[in-house]
A and B are shown apart, each in its own frame.
Chain A
Amino acid sequence: MSLEVPRELREEARKHDMYLTPIAKDTYELFFGPQHMATENFSIILKMDGNRVEKAIVNPGFLHRGFEKLAEQRPYFTNIALLLRICVPESDVPENIYSMAVDEIVGWEVPERAIWIRTVVLEMARVSSWMFWIMGFGNEIGLYTAGQWAAAYRERLMRLFEELTGGRVYHIYTVPGGVRRDIPGDKWLRQLRDTVEYIKSKLKDFDEILFDNYITFERTEGVGVMDKRFALKHAVTGPNLRAVGVPYDVRKDDPYYLYPELDFEVPVLKEGDSLARVLVRRYELEQDLYILEQLLDMGPPSGPYMVQDPKLKNLPRFKVPAGDAYAHVESTKGDFGAYVVSDGSHKPYRVHVRGPSQSHGVTVLEELLKGARLADVPVILKTLDNCPPDIDR
């Protein structure tokens, strides 16, 4: 690209016996990620003009494993250990959508106790995912202290998960027909209540150091603005959609599990910039802790935690009747759904996962990055909050 030298300047220069030659405008390519902290196994090729992004090309595929194809080659129960890798920070979401879909095909009525445990686990996963997000976001805008706190509080939830499920990150806990283990005892419930209260008491500190901080406002206000029509056209869901003024929440619009009985609010802002997305997420964290409190007040119903079915005696050859089902839940990234088709054998015929990051992590991200400053790239990336394995699935 060459620049035109204005005519007056050229004439002025000729008077003084000088010649001006047009210089080429320099653009350069910048490989952003996957070693950058904000991108986490994801990379963007940025065409830069000085400090501004001229064009962004998303370069995913570092975590490609072919989840959906692999799921066709494994027995029904085994798929749980595979599909949860689609969303690492909240691995309970893929477990739950797959289990819900299989439950629907088989026609099981999942016991009440299992439903309660699943709801609690989903909400715990949401809170721990928010903590993970605060850690990432705090690090991106340079407020590392808040990030370290969030990591420390997340550890408490991981400890609870470890006692309940036997794993820290990959829980492999929710299976078709219920859950794999019962609650360890009343002690665990007390610990969960303590943890919820503890994190709730710390929210004020987060507000002070991160969400009320003028640095956060300066870095995020007016950055990466998305408008409503654009968001709806690209099927953006979750907090990103609520930040542009659409009150869509799967827990309210297509309720599952115990959510019809629970009381919570859906935060909606109109601006659609990074700040709105941050504030919506902050409010949702508060609401999730409130939901957990309500669930603990409700208490676990008595009864079995797994469906009693003689077919479950032979798990590797467990056959599901022919049919198909779609189930979706609200994750911290957005609307997460799974479509399972069965042809009557012991392996699924097709498993399709509808991930939220596919919609806001590729096209939308490329669009929002146009014209952004280099320093704003991690902020936009982190406020959109994509999950790379979900894009690569």
Chain B
Amino acid sequence: MTMPARVVGEEKVKLKKSFVKPWIGIKYLFKKPVTIKIPFEKIEPAPKYRGFHTLDWKKCVGCNFCGQICPARAIEMTWLEVEGKMEKRPHPKIDYGRCTFCQFCVDVCPTGALGFTESYILTTDGTEDALELFNWVPIHPDKVRELNEAYGDYRFPVVRIEKLGDGTYRYHLRNGEVFEFKILGYGIRPPKKPTPAKPATEATANKETTKPAEKKESKPAEKKE
């Protein structure tokens, strides 16, 4: 199917060269510049700008849809232990060194646990701790939104990630709060070898006995994935 093309030729497209006309541009010298003076003026991202992720840990069912759709393979499922209680399902850990901020993971999330905020600034003050900073398990959306309202400069909500020897991670939030949990292992399969679907009460009961074994197993499980 072709349409009758309305072709226009020289008579309309061609221009005449002029020595005088370019000087008319001088009038813009007396107009206000469009440059945004950043420290004094503020720019705000659009309301649904694709920025850092948030995760409601209670809603997340650990289905790994986000890990499968991720084009950059930035998402790794992580088994966590909060206050001595193992989470029943794995949660996504997002590496912002790989993330392309396409937010397909948010689109596919069947329970709406994964979300995003407008915070987008990836720059830090260049300390060595900052290298560890952008590989995190996202925190609750309410917390991130609260921090955004308090500071309003669209920076990363976590200032420092402290890593202890036994796999414990401490997220130091911007307002001084500390959020602590333990990473037991990576992958879709749970890190313990007997009975994957174990009730949480039992897991806590024999925690003392199985703890050393967990640590050793967490590494091979990672390799298998």
Contact = CB atoms under 8 A, between A and B. Distances in A.
Given A145-B25, A212-B16, A269-B10, A316 B69 contact: yes
Interface in B1-50: 1-3, 5-10, 12-19, 21-22, 24-25, 28, 34, 45-50
Interface string B179-211: 000000000000000000000000000000000
A8 interface: no
Contact of A279 (B14, B21, B69): B14
B71 A212 contact: no
Interface stretch (B53-61, B96-104, B167-175, B214-222): B96-104
A316 B49 CA distance: 23
Nearest to A245: B9
Nearest to B65: A316
Nearest to A156: B34
Interface residues of A, number: 54
A237 to B, nearest CB: 15
A145 B27 CA distance: 12
A254 B2 CA distance: 6
B178 interface: no
Contacts of B104: 77-78, 81, 172, 315
B70 interface: yes
A212 B20 CA distance: 9
A214 to B, nearest CB: 5
Contacts of A265: 6-8, 12
B21 A208 contact: yes
Contacts of A280: 13
Interface residue range, chain B: 35 or more
Given A166-B50, A252-B5, A78 B69 contact: yes
B68 interface: yes
Nearest to A164: B46
Interface in A224-275: 247, 249, 252-255, 260, 263-270
B49 A166 contact: yes
A269 B46 contact: no
Given A75-B69, A280-B13, A212 B7 contact: no
A209 B8 contact: no
B199 to A, nearest CB: 29
B121 interface: no
B17 A214 contact: yes
A79 interface: yes
Contacts of B107: 180, 315
A80 B100 CA distance: 12
B25 A205 contact: yes
B71 to A, nearest CB: 4
Contacts of B49: 162, 166-167
A212 B46 contact: no
Interface string B144-174: 0000000000000000000000000000000
B45 A162 contact: yes
A170 B100 contact: yes
A268 B18 contact: no
A167 B101 contact: yes
B131 interface: no
A120 B170 CA distance: 47
B44 to A, nearest CB: 10
A181 interface: yes
A163 interface: yes
A283 interface: yes
A74 interface: yes
A266 B7 contact: yes
A247 B100 CA distance: 39
A343 interface: no
B130 interface: no
Nearest to A213: B22
B108 interface: yes
A106 B79 CA distance: 38
A213 B7 contact: no
23 contacts: A78-B70, A79-B71, A81-B72, A81-B100, A162-B45, A167-B101, A170-B100, A184-B48, A209-B24, A211-B15, A212-B17, A212-B18, A212-B22, A217-B17, A247-B5, A247-B7, A253-B2, A255-B1, A267-B12, A268-B13, A269-B9, A282-B15, A316-B68
Interface of B: 1-3, 5-10, 12-19, 21-22, 24-25, 28, 34, 45-50, 65, 68-72, 100-104, 107-108
